[in-house]
Amino acid sequence: MTKLPRCFLYVFLLFSAACQPPQSAAPDAPAAEDSAEGRIDLIVAGDHVVTMDDAATVIVDGAVAIDQGVILAVGPAAEINASYVAEQTLAGAGRIVMPGLVNGHSHAAMTLLRGVADDLALMDWLNNYIFPAEVEFVDAEFVRIGTELACWEMIRGGTTTFVDMYYYPDTIAEVIESCGMRALISATVIDQRSPDAEGADDSIAKGNGFIERWQGRNSRITPIFGPHANYTLNAEQLRATRAAAMQFGVPISIHLSESPFEVQYSKVNYGMTSIELFESIGFFDGPTIAAHVVWPTDAEIPILVEREVGVIHNPTSNMKIASGVAPIAKMLAAGVRVGLGTDGAASNNDLDMWEEMRLAAFLQKVEQMNPEVLSAKTVLRMATSGGAEAIGLGDTIGTLEAGKAADLIQVAFDDVHHVPTYDVVSHLVYVNDEQDVASVVVDGKVLMREGEMLTIDTARVATEARALAARIQSALQERNR
Ligand SMILES: [Zn+2]
């Protein structure tokens, strides 16, 4: 099929809110009916299209035109349908179209450790349960099955991009390649024996190999470094990891200022807080995606702004492990880039970004005793365009605008809890559940259509996950006997 050159199509991009008079296409734009060149891959329609652009445009009876993985036009469905003929259409009745959700911090394969150790403080949970269990059970096969399980859950819930930090990153990348999601995948760096390395030097060396193998290989996959935290790596190892990341020009994801323990550890060992330490060793000299950031001081917040650190708020994990309440409203007001994340399923215990949105809003409101902080609109931004900016993909994803990658979802608004709807954004944040997500598109490819998973063999993954979990459970029972 002949494809219309992309630059030509941009000439008549339709981008008008329903309240505005529709803009007519440029005079030289070919009408769909008189030119086979108006044929494109996909049209996704909706009763409302929530673009998440800077003007917060919501188009009533809208549609998104997609070709070769790129959004060509966003506008009233009548205009899109008059301009293009698509090979495939996702019909819009009872559907809301919006950008796919961005999960800025996860440990995907930990879906297989969901529920094995609950109701514990962070350091007890990590040192006495999670790290030992990982060394004993985690291998490439564990990571493959656990990541597939996570991708299934995330696609089902409307997440299209995530930032992962776990072991065997090549295996994670292979799963992402086949399931069709977009991901930043961290090579974990930690100074202890881990499932795939013997310590910091070994994990940096293996990370170098991973990035060499995956950089530039698949536009949906960005290999990065993931130094675990400042209490599992010393200052020299943190500096070495940043140097390795700079050499490849890749970002870093890290746990930062997560718990009072971490801040205290830093003060005792370095005479300064975590963020001050990172600033003092030049760690923020390259792009940083910082998970949690629960305990930044008023003096540290300007450092996060100036160094353009992307902060990922994980309200559920922070609540469950009792890490604290991150000053999200304060950071946003200061100009920090803030996104949302689930953290791993072992500390959440699911990968539901709708729940994260709701809890992010409620937690700030009750902590500050002020219902006006962190509005539904602000939180929806954190889960989409704000999250995309926080992870360094703001130019590529996060809004529905011409020229961006076609990562978008359709949410079904016909369940009883969406009847009636006065305000779509209010419903998306305060009502919607992951089960309401109907269809998911990444890079122009449909990964889920009306609830049917198209890129993951869910029956096989469920069988494999249950079999592996049975082995883990009997080993844990044996150990506890
Ligand atoms: Zn984490």
Residues 235-260 have pLDDT tens digits of: 999 999 999 999 999 999 999 999 99
Span of 70-84, 116-130, 219-233, 331-345 with lowest mean pLDDT: 116-130
As a whole number, mean pLDDT of residues 107-116 equals 93
Given this model, what pLDDT does residue 133 score? 83
As a whole number, mean pLDDT of residues 428-448 equals 98
Q: Write out the H or E segment, with its range, that includes residue 311.
A: strand 310-313
**pLDDT tier, 29 (very low <50, low <70, confident <90, very high otherwise):** very low
Given this model, what pLDDT does residue 203 score? 97
Instruction: Count Cβ atoms below 10 Å from residue 253 Cβ, excluding itself.
Output: 29
CA–CA separation, 104 vs 113, rounded Å?
Answer: 20
- CA 291 – ligand 1 centroid, Å: 7
Say if residue 7's pLDDT is above 90: no
- CA 211 – ligand 1 centroid, Å: 21
As a whole number, mean pLDDT of residues 347-366 equals 97
Helix, strand, coil shares, percent, the chain, to 5? 45, 20, 35
- CA 458 – ligand 1 centroid, Å: 26
Given this model, what pLDDT does residue 38 score? 84
CA–CA separation, 133 vs 110, rounded Å?
Answer: 11
Alpha helices in 185-343 (DSSP H): 200-214, 235-248, 260-270, 274-280, 301-306, 315-320, 328-334
- CB 379 within 8 Å of CB 101: no
Q: From 337, 244, 330, select the one nearest 290 (Cα to Cα).
A: 337
Given this model, what pLDDT does residue 18 score? 35
- CA 151 – ligand 1 centroid, Å: 17
- CB 294 within 8 Å of CB 319: no
- CA 256 – ligand 1 centroid, Å: 10
CA–CA separation, 190 vs 197, rounded Å?
Answer: 8
**In this prediction, what percent of the chain has a pLDDT beyond 90?**
84
Q: Which residues pair with 163 in a beta bridge?
A: 184
- CA 467 – ligand 1 centroid, Å: 26
Say if residue 310's pLDDT is above 90: yes
Given this model, what pLDDT does residue 465 score? 97
More confident residue, 363 or 136: 363
**pLDDT tier, 15 (very low <50, low <70, confident <90, very high otherwise):** very low
Say if residue 88's pLDDT is above 80: yes
Say if residue 455's pLDDT is above 80: yes
CA–CA separation, 24 vs 292, rounded Å?
Answer: 46
- CA 320 – ligand 1 centroid, Å: 13
Give the pTM: 0.92
Span of 9-23, 97-111, 162-176, 465-479 with lowest mean pLDDT: 9-23
- CA 27 – ligand 1 centroid, Å: 52
- CA 283 – ligand 1 centroid, Å: 19
Say if residue 27's pLDDT is above 60: no
CA angle 99, 100, 103 (to 5 degrees): 130
Q: Which of 26-35, 177-186, 344-353 has the highest mean pLDDT?
A: 177-186
Say if residue 16's pLDDT is above 50: no
Span of 6-15, 276-285, 415-424 with lowest mean pLDDT: 6-15
Neighbours of ion ligand 1 (CB under 5 A): 343
Given this model, what pLDDT does residue 481 score? 74
Given this model, what pLDDT does residue 9 score? 35
Say if residue 33's pLDDT is above 70: no
Phi, psi of 228 (to 5 degrees): -65, -55
As a whole number, mean pLDDT of residues 330-348 equals 96
**pLDDT tier, 37 (very low <50, low <70, confident <90, very high otherwise):** low
Span of 30-34, 310-314, 437-441 with lowest mean pLDDT: 30-34
| Count of CA atoms in the C-beta half-sphere (13 A) of 25 | 24
pLDDT in tens, 375-387: 999 999 999 999 9
